[in-house]
A = this chain, B = another copy of it.
């Protein structure tokens, strides 16, 4: 209950020094003799002094907080565990360093821009995480103009003054396609994410490149917004066609799980009559039936790395890009040799 009662002045008086010196001792700055420093710190401890963050903020013009503004629509936000995990990773770094996370969830791109401006106008944060990178992402020039440090998750497609923390998702898609091709599939489709998102396009490009590598004809691709609903619709369209694919590579797990539902509904057995692969390895993926063959993702690791990088950037003014281990294929039960291959093998 005594909290916030004792101030730097109390410590100074009790230690018989000036407030300035207490501040120097606290911040480990040169100009205080070791003995004096020790004495000051001891007095501070005795008194239970907790330096006021608000006062420090005012004089240092720092907020000791990092920001994350999320502009996903509520549905895809809810069915995708990326953010909870990413945030858990971020927090594991921040909590030990006395930093806080300010989270903003906004419904539109306009609201997103307003949110960033508000954050800097209010001096709420010292830097932000840029997730879900888009093509020619408007946030990069915006933050540059605002002078707010940032770290991007993945490398932007335009010029960027910010360090990037990346996980290459190309190998995961490539492995998925190669695996399906090896099983004997020739009509492989892709249910892609939004083409406004960098990772939507990148996974799609990886899919097409992998098809090419495997010597397979170009497959059908349907673009979605990454939502469960869109994944469901796209699957239905694909499966009710004349030349329905025998395998579908999904750009994320939630859509793949929805696809599983559609297949069940249509009486198409997975993996016997249809193979599917996902992306992200969300918790659900191993508990649906059949368990989903998918690509691992490590959002917690990404969160830690991004937080570490952003903090370094803020403190030192510079930080290197970091490349995290690529996502890999995890083979479970949702893919198998296509029906005709099986028949001819019998």
Nearest-Cβ distance from residue A250 to partner chain B, whole angstroms:
13
Does the CB pair A257–B284 fall under 8 Å? yes
Interface contacts beyond A54-B123, A101-B104: sample of 5 additional A-B pairs, CB < 8 Å, sorted by A: A1-B145, A79-B284, A95-B118, A98-B118, A229-B283
Q: Which residue of B lies closest to A3 (CB)?
A: B121
Does the CB pair B111–A95 fall under 8 Å? yes
The complex places the Cα of A231 from the Cα of B287 at a distance, in Å, of 9
CB-CB < 8 A to A146: which residues of B? 3
Q: What bracket does the count of chain A residues touching chain B fall in?
A: 35 or more
Q: How many copies does the complex hold?
A: 2
A35-77 at interface with B (beta carbon < 8 Å): 50, 52-55, 57-58, 61, 63-65, 74-75, 77
- Interface: A262 (CB within 8 A): yes
The complex places the Cα of A120 from the Cα of B88 at a distance, in Å, of 21
- Interface: A81 (CB within 8 A): yes
Q: Which residue of B lies closest to A121 (CB)?
A: B50
A1-38 at interface with B (beta carbon < 8 Å): 1, 3-4
Does the CB pair B103–A102 fall under 8 Å? yes
* A residues lining the B interface (CB < 8 Å): 1, 3-4, 50, 52-55, 57-58, 61, 63-65, 74-75, 77-79, 81, 83-85, 87-88, 91-92, 95, 98, 100-107, 111, 115, 118-124, 145-147, 227-229, 231-232, 254, 257-258, 260-265, 282-284, 287-291, 300
